[in-house]
Structure 1
């Protein structure tokens, strides 16, 4: 039995009881054998810490014992109360590579915290720390409420991704027909849903290989399709193929170049390019990716400068790719390098220090 739950809790978090949430988390961690209180809400990274530190009980900041991994792989009902060592949530910080952020060990009892506050805490905990300015500053508030409503309604992340896919196709068609203003509506809806589906998957522990492939595949493929269709639509409206054609070629080439540079950086240096130094994280806010180009086009259309905004987007795409290439060369020349977010107290080091630090119960 990979999970043994003690006690009882009737409250829900994002439509799930804490016990069901833990079951979904543990199902994705085949080596973990866990004893947990029925009210325990624990982050994925913290469960990984417990798996690597069997016999040490995680307690909430209020002192309630939440969970412990079995030492011999066989969880027993009295293990949580009998564990000789404890570690308090928030004791260690670690680097979450998937979300590009530093975070603390997290565990609370749903019986002891405000439900609304915990909803916000969990939602914020699954947000990427380094991303573009629209995703970072505009989408969080509406995405929180939509995610919470969808979770309560038991809507799956794959359904959200599928709706986003339809919006992506509709935007492409409208761009190609020169209906730029209309196209921007499903385009922005798609980018919003692209934020929501991932957050919904993480807070409800419903990630799937199919959904992950569809989501990331669509993220990579659709921007060049949009820019081709947009270029055609700009020509229909403006009639200036002389400037638009080289501009769209530059946009597409720069997009591919930027993606290649980012892939090479990660494969050769071990982490995402935009978390190397603080300036790279800042640059990620405005790098010429989908949301930033959409923002440029939207402002240009409102200002009556559609052609000019398209050319500006192309120029910024080239500049962004060149900056990425320069940063790759600089990092390569300074090897070995590390992310400014990793610090010295990441999960690996915390694990090695853990047996010396927990207080005796």
Structure 2
């Protein structure tokens, strides 16, 4: 990591009272700088370069990540300067370009935010088009939506992709307006997750599904709220991911146990076979995903188009809940949990085959990369 002295200070220019996600442009910029551990303001400008930010605009934080290693680069929107990573000697000229519309020094590289090719996200191994827009009151709803959509990183399951983006967007806006923190949302969701587990255990499946549905939506909201309001934290990230990692096997155990009080008890042999299949499949799939990242530097779900499409339905919590919901509609929660166990093992086979194919193709000299790049 660079030392603080070598990092360009992020310096706001101008003023803008328009609020985005409940924040002024200056406060949002300060949070973006803090997230990147960059100095903020003139008083901390100790390096040879600075990043000037025109507060008449707001932008996806990905632009700062992209611009930081590219001194001598200016990001524009509609011909106007949005961000400029420049040497101190060019600062006065760039400030005039922002405040008076003067020409930029000819040696600076200008990059238009609206260009078709966008930028390459190294962390996600995919190409994307981050937003950069003029922050005026009439544009706030569209910018907030663009910010929210941009917070969906990578590929996901069919429920998160198609069913509740609008629900989660509305709840994210409400949470931002009333000042609920992402950790507050995670706390509410954690309680609901426990309530759903208890309901499943007692065979109150409809109650558990409703409670679980609310929890699953909030599980989307907390992460999106953290990204949109630039308030991600190590605690929140560990808490959210910890709950996501631990609770699914517990839910499946509770559902299988709840079949007895519901009146559709599994035999002992079936119960333990289902639990073994689901736990084994769950753990090994996670290990395969981790191995793929370590070996190839990207998630298995972004390798080829098939993998992204299979991620929509692979045996993760949300697709599994669709199976359980369908089985409950016909009054057979026992069939549902057996079907989930079977689907878990089939998904495991698919992931195992894909990992093996990737290894063999790499050994054959092929360079693997994401189809989203």
TM-score by length of 1: 0.89
Q: CA deviation at 1:114?
A: 1.7
The CA RMSD measured in Å over matched residues stands at: 2.0
Separation of aligned partners in 2, 1:133 and 1:98 = 23
Equivalent of residue 123 in structure 1, options 148, 167, 172: 148
Q: Could you tell me whether the CA contact under 8 Å between 1:99 and 1:127 is conserved in 2?
A: no
Where does residue 70 of structure 2 map in the other structure? 53
Equivalent residue for 1:340?
371
Does 2:229 align with 1:239?
no
Quote the Cα distance in structure 2 between the aligned partners of 1:163 and 1:39.
Answer: 36
* C-alpha distance in 1 between matches for 2:195 and 2:224: 24
For residue 19 of structure 1, what is the aligned residue in structure 2? 26
**1:283 matched residue in structure 2:** 310
Instruction: From 75, 79, 82, give the equivalent of 2:94.
Output: 79
* Partner secondary structure for residue 68 of structure 2: helix
How many pairs align?
Answer: 340
Q: Which moved more, 1:229-238 or 1:144-153?
A: 229-238
* CA drift at 1:8: 1.7
1:164 & 1:112 partners in 2: Cα distance? 32
Query: Alignment partner of 2:119: what SS?
Result: strand
Residue 216 of structure 1, CA deviation: 0.8
2:14–2:54 CA contact under 8 A, matched in 1: yes
Q: Which has the higher contact order (CA 8 A, sep 6+)?
A: 1
Task: Report the CA distance shift for 1:35/1:266 in structure 2 as closer, same or farther (over 3 A).
Answer: same
Alignment match of 1:304 (pick from 325, 331, 336): 331
Contact 2:74 2:111 in 1 (8 A): yes
In the alignment, what sits opposite 2:42?
A: none
Q: Are 2:240 and 1:215 aligned?
A: yes
Corresponding residue for residue 90 of structure 1: 114
1:16-165 pair list within 5 angstroms: 16-31=23-38, 33-60=50-77, 62-71=78-87, 76=91, 79-81=94-96, 83-84=104-105, 85=108, 86-91=110-115, 92-96=117-121, 101-111=126-136, 114-165=139-190
Q: Distance in 1 between matches of 2:360 and 2:60?
A: 37
2:249 counterpart (200, 224, 227): 224
| Aligned-residue offset at 1:76 | 4.8
Q: Is the 2:15–2:56 Cα contact (8 Å) retained in structure 1?
A: yes
Aligned to 1:266: 293
Q: 1:99, 1:128 within 8 Å by CA — same for their partners in 2?
A: yes
Q: Give yes or no for contact 1:64–1:109 (8 Å, CA) kept in 2.
A: no
Structure 1 partner of 2:4:
none
**Equivalent-residue separation in structure 2 for 1:13 and 1:249 (angstroms):** 48
- Cα offset for 1:98? 5.2
User: Could you tell me whether the CA contact under 8 Å between 1:126 and 1:203 is conserved in 2?
Assistant: yes
Check the 8 A contact 1:164/1:193 in 2, yes or no. Answer: yes
CA contact (8 A) 1:4 1:77 kept: no
Could you state the TM-score of these two structures normalised by the residue count of structure 2? 0.86
> Does the Cα contact within 8 Å between 1:132 and 1:286 map onto a contact in 2?
yes
Q: Is the 8 A contact 2:256 2:334 kept in 1?
A: no
Give the drift of 1:196: 0.5
Unaligned runs of 5+ in 1: 343-361
CA distance in 2, matches of 1:135, 1:97: 23
Between the aligned partners of 1:147 and 1:39, the Cα distance in structure 2 is: 24
CA distance in 2 between counterparts of 1:341 and 1:95 reads 10
Partners of 1:67 and 1:95 in 2: CA distance: 18
